[in-house]
């Protein structure tokens, strides 16, 4: 229940009067050199970046006192910063200026391929098919320049969510056919150019309900391995990122869709099994196979009507906090890649970027455009968090 206007204003005043978050010391005293042959998350903590913290702080005044207190705890949890347009590269410098302690690693999502999100509409990008040179020179090269200019800071990169998995399972979609060459060229260029001593890289690999099907494991691994090899087998490449912006459980058994009629064709009913099975396929394909798993919004299971439903799932809650304690050697860490509270896509069917998945009965409605702040949904994530705040 929301407070009346007076208590809300009082809460806002209290928040404003509270001591400001102290600026952290920035970076290390010398250049960072990450060993991508090891699990860097055992040494580094995922940084709680100031951009996401700012989004949360701006949302406090519209919450009741209990939820606002929990939200302030969410703001302390490390999460990835999405550089999803050329303009949004500008988000990075203020985060660096705010300070990243020497024992922290700053997570960044590289996400701006030409013809992005070829099998959906909600997250279509700014670059058109064929604008690969613009991607390389105005996006990847600029990001690389910033990482080089901050050698004393550690960075973890998730490379191009949904891109290569789409080429495996949506090859019959014309938009994906058109985008394929640019995806492969762009991903290889990103891996090669961002191969810096202070960086560790993970290539997006979808999730168990996507590439985990028996028929997709081998071709999926081969597609990703081709990109890794085309990049020259970069030294700072560690493996894959799974469940990015997703909902799958880490180790729920039986899995959420284990009773479905087609479950016999997919043994990867949770992400733990997927990391193991796909990891084996990657090893056979000649690619590093360790993983990070996005647990930002998988705290509640049994919400989706179908495994492929991905948009603003109703009833979801924040999940396991970032940690290197996964219990599986192949899984480097649980991380929060998707900043909870940023929408997956609009439910407005008249919008240009409307995707029908955002209008399904298990999708929260109304919802704003992808990436925009979704206040009501954020509050649900807090109140449904498992473990709770």
Could you list the active site residues? 117, 162
- Alpha carbon dihedral 320, 159, 241, 220, in 10-degree steps, equals 150
Burial (CB < 10 A; 0-12, 13-18, 19+), residue 264, is exposed
- Give, as one character, the DSSP assignment of residue 244: T
Residue 263: CB atoms within 10 Å: 14
The verdict on whether omega for the bond into residue 297 sits within 30 degrees of 0, i.e. cis, is no
Compute CA distances 14 → 50, 55, 65, 200, 206, whole Å: 20, 18, 10, 40, 42
Distance CA 233, CA 195 (A): 10
Q: Which residues pair with 104 in a beta bridge?
A: 45
CB contact at 8 A, 274 and 293 = no
Distance CA 184, CA 168 (A): 12
Chain centroid to CA 299? 16
What sign results for the dihedral spanned by CA atoms 183, 184, 188, 189?
negative
Distance CA 108, CA 360 (A): 30
List CB contacts of 51: < 8 A, sequence separation 6 or more: 81, 91, 94, 95
| Six token digits for residue 122 | 């909600």
Largest alpha-carbon pair distance within the chain? Answer: 63
Q: Which of 65, 57, 92, 55 is nearest to 7 (CA)?
A: 65
């Amino acid at each position: 229940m929301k407070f009346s206007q007076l208590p809300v204003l009082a809460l806002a005043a209290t928040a404003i009067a509270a001591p400001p978050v102290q600026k952290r010391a920035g970076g290390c005293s010398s250049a960072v050199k990450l060993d991508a042959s090891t699990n860097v998350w055992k040494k580094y903590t995922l940084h709680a970046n100031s951009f996401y913290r700012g989004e949360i702080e701006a949302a406090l005044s519209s919450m009741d006192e209990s939820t606002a207190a929990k939200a302030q705890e969410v703001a302390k949890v490390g999460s990835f910063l999405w550089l999803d347009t050329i303009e949004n590269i500008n988000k990075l410098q203020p985060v660096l200026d705010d300070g990243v302690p020497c024992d922290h690693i700053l997570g960044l999502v590289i996400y701006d391929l030409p013809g992005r999100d070829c099998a959906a509409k909600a997250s279509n990008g700014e670059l058109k098919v064929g604008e690969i040179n613009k991607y390389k020179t105005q996006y990847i090269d600029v990001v690389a320049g910033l990482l080089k200019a901050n050698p004393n800071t550690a960075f973890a990169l998730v490379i191009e969510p949904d891109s290569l998995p789409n080429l495996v399972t949506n090859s019959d979609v014309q938009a994906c056919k058109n985008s394929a060459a640019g995806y492969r060229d762009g991903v290889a260029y990103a891996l090669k150019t961002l191969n810096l001593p202070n960086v560790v890289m993970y290539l997006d690999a979808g999730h168990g309900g996507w590439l985990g099907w028996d028929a997709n494991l081998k071709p999926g691994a081969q597609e990703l391995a081709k990109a890794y090899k085309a990049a020259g087998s970069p030294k700072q490449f560690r493996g894959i990122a799974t469940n990015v912006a997703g909902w799958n459980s880490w180790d729920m058994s039986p899995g959420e869709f284990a009773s479905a009629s087609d479950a016999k064709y997919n043994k990867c009913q949770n992400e733990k099994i997927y990391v193991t099975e796909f990891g084996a396929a990657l090893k056979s394909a000649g690619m590093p196979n360790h993983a990070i798993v996005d647990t930002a919004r998988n705290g509640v299971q049994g919400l989706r009507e179908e495994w492929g439903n991905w948009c603003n799932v109703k009833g979801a809650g924040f999940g396991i906090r970032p940690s290197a304690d996964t219990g599986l050697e192949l899984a480097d860490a649980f991380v929060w890649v998707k900043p909870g509270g940023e929408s997956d896509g609009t439910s407005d069917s008249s919008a240009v970027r409307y995707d029908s998945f955002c209008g399904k009965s298990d999708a929260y409605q109304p919802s704003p455009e992808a990436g925009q702040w979704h206040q009501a949904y954020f509050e649900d994530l807090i109140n449904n968090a498992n473990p709770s705040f």
